[in-house]
Amino acid sequence: MKDILDAHMHTIASGHAYSTIREMVRAASQKGLELVGITEHAPMMPGTCHEIYFHNFKVIQREAYEVPLLMGAELNITSYTGMVDLKDYVLAKIDYAVASLHEPCLRPGTIDQNTAAVIGAMQHPRVKIIGHPENGNYPLDYEAVAKAAKEHHVLLELNNSSYSPLSNRRNSRENAQIMLKYCRKYGVSVIMDSDAHIDLDVGNHTLAREVVAAADFPEELIVNTDLEKFRYFLNWKG
């Protein structure tokens, strides 16, 4: 399967990642990627950059690197209604956002609470991807999430790092199979992302590919195969 983009990764600006933008993009080039997206953790994540970091992306020459570069953010979902931790006027300055549930930013709730949080976040026009939805620390109603993703034109992520034996995101492989069942049923597109925190992991979707293969998931619903598929979601205005 063709796999030419990676849209969820972090640099030293996130505080617990270990490579620079240039190092991450160079790694993407060496691996043959055709598009890369940097998504630093938004301000509620301990140790990450201040909100002001996201104000100045205009100085970054996106086409000056070996691979075309997008500058986004990984937003923290901060309430069970789907609030996120960057204001609208800041989000207007970035290319797109991943929205994710993280324990330091929102205590895991009930299935209904977690599901409402994710669906609420989808309704923000800059949110294009739901990050690591297979994380079993936040149980979700995957049928409801898949239906909402279809309605709001949001991608559901297959997060490669979630499937690592080192990950603390419980039952991620099992949950991904349930999620993919409903994605297939409702024609919902997914994206494989590395969630790389160091350059060596850029474009590493090995474990996500295993999950896709186990589900016999249709390639036409995986946006990594075609930049135009991904751009469709980026450009959707609602």
Please name the residues in contact with 47: beta carbons below 8 A apart, sequence gap of 6 or more: 14, 15, 16
Give the dihedral sign, CA 144/124/126/114. negative
Q: Is 57 helix (H, G, I), strand (E, B) or coil?
A: helix
CA distance 234 to 149: 14
CA distance 138 to 175: 11
Closest by CA position to 72, among listed 115, 33, 30, 124: 124
Q: Which CATH class for the 5-235 domain?
A: alpha beta
Task: Tell me the average pLDDT of the chain.
Answer: 96
Confidence class for position 238, pLDDT limits 50, 70, 90: low
State the SS3 of 125-144.
Answer: CCEEEECCCCCCCCCCCHHH
State the Rg of the chain over Cα: 16
Please name the residues in contact with 214: beta carbons below 8 A apart, sequence gap of 6 or more: 173, 177
Sorted by where each begins, the domain ranges of the chain are 5-235
Q: What average pLDDT does range 42-47 have in this prediction?
A: 97
Confidence class for position 236, pLDDT limits 50, 70, 90: confident
The pLDDT tens digits of the residues spanning 167-220 come to 999 999 999 999 999 999 999 999 999 999 999 999 999 999 999 999 999 999
Query: What's residue 222's pLDDT?
Result: 98
